A and B are shown apart, each in its own frame.
Chain A
């Protein structure tokens, strides 16, 4: 029952997103949309997915969009691009898709085709073959490790893309001015700053817990990486970019993101050199189960490193770009009168 309510709310939020002109409201609604879909995933038993969606959809993606809006302006142009042909196209496509769903298996039926192929093997044999309780982690990190490797490379590539688009050589002379701007901000947010200072170690500890407990409960490298990055971003937001840049060395973070991908690939190569297939962890150690545990530990660690550092890179480059833009504007304003 709860899932029907959540889905209806999702639809209402989506309709509100179409109608809103204020981009700030649109982005906040998309954050609510992410949180609602995370709740829906809990109701569907997908706890790992819900965890990720709550951290990513409701947290990081909203934040990144807000940073971009501060640069691009928050109001949307009222004119729409050919609304009626678009509406017609969308309605026709929607009707065809709904027609397509008519012969689909009903929701929750245990004999649907999706449950008949490889899933029973994962559920019944993963304890003997992999030896960890969380089946999602077994699939993600061992059975389908090659997929996950590809996805990690995609994330890494996106990080490189953002670096290529936004980063530039910093000018050393505008450092003082930025510190001044940040100082005034600190005075305004004294309470938040002190509370955050107390919370930060716990957030980081929680990220590590999620990282290492992913074998037994919901969690793993992807979620831990996002939470770790969220803690760093929180610090950067409240204490200013220049302070955060002293704590978090950017070239070091870039190195970590590459090291994660390298470590992941190397785990595959070692099992290849030991006589198994690529990513066959049984060959990592004399005992197959120990090998699986070692392999999953290493690649979860690699995933966590890359995800955390790529998200930190993305945020710092967005914020950096904004800061440069503002200081350019300030200089421009000083020169023009």
Chain B
């Protein structure tokens, strides 16, 4: 027996049965019900390989958590839609959008921060912090992310609100769906789906603004001159918003999302979870006027908690994979408890620890500081610290040094040795910079660069660009005694000639094994042998 079958035989009586004086009993069964635990419910045909989706008609909830969810929805959607429009002056020739992912030029702009493609580890750091943050809040208060802030939840919530606007709340919606395909049903359905598509378009439309100057792109999108990739992504996100938020809804959380499976590892007996407090609620049953509350539970079995649940579960069956912890059942139940004059909190944020005792208040003896939460916090602090340090010490002039490996060194005709290095100099500022390269660490060395005159040339690096130069470091024959074995430390420093800002890298100067050139007796033979060995290696 499923809900769809229920509607076919709905009678007006179905909507007036009472769980308590003035409290309607909802005719609703949890979609993901645990059949044998729900007394009196037929377990259905059973042994199905595939199950039909049962449509959920969540009833509108009113109360504290609903208000919190509205506020979070307004905030997150506001951030999502408005952020691309915030401006940030970076000077001429540069984008003035505060947050911009400029893939074409391989730059990410976050306000004053400009991240280059090779610095993508900052984004990795951000993702690591986000993941750890998720772990932390989950261990403290369960799936807060799922219940309040996940885009799937926020957009589904918005889609459901729109659906209610056109088709009415739960009962009206059920009646409409059970009725014939008349004009009223057709236009209400059309209006709902059109609204969803418009929301989808707005979602996809806002997304592309993060990747290209928003005011420019907005005009381009309307007059048809925007890049085709912008239209493609707009289309993809419009469609997926419509599909996942409007149509698929809870199916995404139950069947597609890995997070419900992972979260179990972060919870413990002290985590705050939306729970039905069985010790207070049972035995449940409808409550008659003037009936004593002695010897029975507070639950009047009105099923308001099931009716409001967007996931279609019965929270009274305990912790379930499907539960996104949105707390709407708390609002629904508190409203009923107020009506029947019993204390609020039959469904509440409480810990497994407190659930075991009938007398414990929901958050009695709450332990926020546990090894788990302390560890998560410590790791978050550590990663934040590392990121902060990396950002603080982030240089706008940077070099990378790559020592030639083939050949590692070159013997010169006068008996000297030469090493080659490829040096990449990044200028992360918006002005042309003039730099000099200095090499230190071995006395007597000389340098030269391909494409430049003299031993200490000034190199121009265009604004926001990288320049690669080939540096040759030569060690004269009589200074070869200064080498320590095959590899001698060498420091290469690049210095801005105007500001004095510099960036240094540590590298090595390579020479032959057991260099005895300064002892001329065997020097040449040895060198010759080394050359042969080297050739063998290179082969």
Chain A partners chain B: no
Binding site for B on A (CB under 8 A): none
